[in-house]
């Protein structure tokens, strides 16, 4: 059960809040994870009455409710909520917010969740600060910032400077919802709770590591944000570099927030800087053209509502990175992400080297395959270890076999990343949130690529919607034997 607090959600009627935050709160309610006194105040621009808000929350939550929607849970959940219309740029509205919280005697521990556009973070925090709403008097005050934190290193620094005037680092929760995913946390458990992994986890045994995030969705209604952002900022700088850090970092001194974050920062700072003249060898971008996904014809990115005519924003991005430390020197890390691909999947695939001697070459039919460890992050939550074994029979013939652990629990143990993170904010546990130096190190990795791409406005490669991305991205591989692995199962390697 959580501590009592008030969650003030800015941008409550927006896409993220309706698709992720409200369903997450509903599930926390269902599983009795919220203290009775927890209150939720939805802030939106629309001039809604409380009942209109409740109705739209109900409609948003209903299709997402795990194990079926129940009116009883929804009533309890709605009983915690209220709606306040605000224009976040207007100073008097913050006085109204302050008065609302005081008049209703809601818990004085307050979380301000900024589910807003990135350019609204600083002005909102400044207004909250000026209104005295961030002073920790009679309770704590915490601010959750969605991504992206800045647009590049420079703007992230400027944003941080503005926040520093009103917020302590301990009050700042930079969210990366990937860190709340069960399988992402399992990466750490797998690495650090199994002794047999550590001796193999280095340049001596690993040929390369790849991280793939594919979505079968388009940009949908988010072109206003996405067209300014693109796949490199939207997915790689944030979520996928976090996955990289967890796969490759050194064992932390403890699982405490700072120890963990120290190791992630160290890892990100060890990524070899990409020189501008190497950008085209280490990064690739493309945009989806028309195509067919799951039997449906879909338009190209340029035909999506809100996309600038002639936009060269990438909906697919891939990079190759090297980590200049003793553990990983010389091992390439390949990362790719794309929208409008054939299906949704996120996986981390680790390919091992070949054994130094191929003893069975004479007798076997097939070429020896390397070992793989594949972490299915979503939709399957699974870990697969691929090995070579002897086929049954008199002859020595080898076959690929695997140890496959599907980790999906039952309905009661299933949860969405946001549920865990919303609770962590109440607990004051920042281990799954990003520290500023981490964000800064991640921007440093992608800055040179973004700079080069921003100067190339005349052309962008395309890939058919419903395909696995552009052919050109294959040129990133160091060896002909390396290739993207889109599938968790080996039969479709």
Contact between residue 194 and residue 165 where contact means Cβ atoms under 8 Å apart: no
Taking CB under 6 A as the rule, does residue 215 contact ligand BG6?
yes
What's the closest the beta carbon of residue 66 comes to ligand BG6, in angstroms?
15
Footprint on residues 342-361 left by ligand BG6 (CB under 6 A): 346
Contact between residue 98 and residue 131 where contact means Cβ atoms under 8 Å apart: yes
* Choice between 172 and 315, CB closer to ligand BG6: 315
* Choice between 35 and 152, CB closer to ligand BG6: 152
Distance CA 190, CA 50 (A): 46
What's the closest the beta carbon of residue 345 comes to ligand BG6, in angstroms?
9
What's the closest the beta carbon of residue 305 comes to ligand BG6, in angstroms?
16
Question: Cα dihedral angle (78, 84, 89, 95), rounded to 10 degrees?
Answer: -120
Distance CA 426, CA 454 (A): 40
DSSP 253-288: SSSSHHHHHHHHHHHHHTBPPPPGGGHHHHEEEEEE
Contact between residue 381 and residue 183 where contact means Cβ atoms under 8 Å apart: yes
Contact between residue 106 and residue 41 where contact means Cβ atoms under 8 Å apart: yes
Taking CB under 6 A as the rule, does residue 424 contact ligand BG6?
no
- The phi and psi torsions of 294 (rounded to 5 degrees) equal 50, 45
* Choice between 16 and 54, CB closer to ligand BG6: 16
List helix spans (H) across 148-293.
153-164, 182-192, 223-231, 241-248, 257-269, 279-282
* Choice between 6 and 346, CB closer to ligand BG6: 346
Distance CA 312, CA 329 (A): 34
- In the stretch 159-198, what mask flags binding to ligand BG6 with x, by CB under 6 A? ----------------------------------------
Catalytic residue among 177, 208, 213, 239: 239
Taking CB under 6 A as the rule, does residue 381 contact ligand BG6?
no
Question: Closest residue (Cβ) to ligand BG6?
Answer: 234
Taking CB under 6 A as the rule, does residue 234 contact ligand BG6?
yes
Taking CB under 6 A as the rule, does residue 419 contact ligand BG6?
no
Instruction: Report which of 313, 311, 331 is spatially closest to residue 321, judged by C-alpha positions.
Output: 331
What's the closest the beta carbon of residue 56 comes to ligand BG6, in angstroms?
22
Evaluated on CA atoms 324, 325, 330, 336, the torsion sign reads negative
What's the closest the beta carbon of residue 13 comes to ligand BG6, in angstroms?
18
Looking at the DSSP bridge assignments, the partners of residue 349 are 210, 374
Contact between residue 230 and residue 314 where contact means Cβ atoms under 8 Å apart: yes
* Choice between 207 and 314, CB closer to ligand BG6: 314
213 is catalytic: no
What's the closest the beta carbon of residue 317 comes to ligand BG6, in angstroms?
12
Q: How buried is 453 (Cβ within 10 angstroms: 0-12 exposed, 13-18 middle, 19+ buried)?
A: buried
Q: Beta-carbon neighbour count of residue 424 at 10 Å?
A: 21
* Choice between 346 and 371, CB closer to ligand BG6: 346
* Choice between 111 and 219, CB closer to ligand BG6: 219
Number of residues that bind ligand BG6 (CB under 6 A): 3
* Choice between 315 and 364, CB closer to ligand BG6: 315
Question: Cα dihedral angle (384, 390, 392, 396), rounded to 10 degrees?
Answer: 160
Distance CA 19, CA 482 (A): 37
Contact between residue 347 and residue 373 where contact means Cβ atoms under 8 Å apart: no
Summarize as ranges the residues that interact with ligand BG6 (CB under 6 A): 215, 234, 346
Question: Which residues are annotated as catalytic?
Answer: 239
């Amino acid at each position: 059960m959580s501590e009592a607090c008030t969650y003030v959600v800015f941008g409550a009627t927006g896409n993220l809040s309706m698709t992720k935050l409200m369903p997450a709160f509903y599930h926390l309610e269902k599983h009795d994870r919220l203290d009775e006194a927890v209150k939720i105040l939805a802030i939106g621009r629309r001039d809604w009455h409380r009942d209109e808000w409740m109705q739209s929350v109900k409609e948003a939550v209903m299709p997402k409710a795990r194990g079926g929607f129940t009116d009883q849970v929804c009533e309890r959940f709605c009983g915690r909520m209220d709606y306040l219309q605000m224009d976040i740029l207007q100073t008097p509205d913050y006085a109204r917010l302050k008065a609302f919280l005081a008049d209703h005697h809601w818990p004085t521990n307050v979380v301000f969740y900024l589910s807003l556009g990135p350019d609204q973070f600083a002005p909102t925090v400044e207004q909250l600060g000026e209104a005295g709403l961030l002073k920790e008097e009679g309770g704590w005050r915490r601010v959750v910032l969605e991504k992206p934190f800045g647009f590049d290193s420079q703007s992230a620094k400027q944003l941080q400077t503005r926040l520093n005037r009103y917020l302590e680092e301990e009050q700042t929760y930079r969210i990366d919802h990937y860190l709340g995913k069960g399988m992402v946390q399992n990466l750490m458990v797998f690495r650090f709770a199994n002794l047999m992994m550590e001796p193999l986890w280095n340049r001596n045994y690993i040929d390369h590591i790849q991280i793939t995030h594919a979505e079968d969705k388009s940009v949908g209604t988010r072109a206003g944000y996405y067209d300014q952002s693109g796949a490199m900022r939207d997915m790689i700088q944030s979520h996928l570099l976090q996955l990289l850090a967890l796969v490759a970092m050194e064992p932390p001194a403890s699982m405490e927030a700072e120890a963990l974050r120290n190791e992630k920062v160290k890892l990100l700072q060890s990524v070899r800087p990409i020189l501008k003249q190497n950008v085209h060898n280490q990064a690739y971008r493309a945009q989806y053209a028309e195509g067919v996904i799951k039997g449906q014809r879909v338009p190209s990115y340029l035909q999506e509502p809100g996309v600038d005519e002639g936009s060269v924003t990438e909906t697919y991005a891939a990079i190759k990175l090297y980590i200049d430390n003793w553990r990983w020197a010389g091992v390439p890390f390949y990362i790719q992400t794309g929208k409008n691909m054939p299906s949704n999947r996120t996986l981390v695939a680790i390919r091992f080297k070949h054994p130094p001697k191929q003893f069975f070459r004479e007798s076997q039919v097939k070429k020896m395959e390397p070992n793989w460890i594949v972490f299915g992050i979503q939709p399957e939550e699974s870990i697969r270890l691929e090995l070579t074994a002897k086929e049954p029979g008199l002859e020595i013939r080898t076959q690929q076999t695997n140890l496959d652990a599907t980790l999906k629990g039952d309905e009661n143990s299933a949860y969405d990343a946001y549920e865990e993170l919303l609770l962590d904010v109440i607990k004051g546990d920042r281990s799954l949130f990003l520290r500023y130096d981490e964000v800064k190190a991640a921007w440093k990795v992608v800055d040179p690529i973004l700079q080069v791409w921003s100067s190339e406005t005349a052309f962008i490669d395309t890939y058919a919607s419903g395909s696995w991305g552009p052919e050109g991205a294959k040129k990133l591989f160091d060896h002909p034997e390396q290739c993207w692995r889109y599938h968790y199962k080996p039969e479709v390697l």
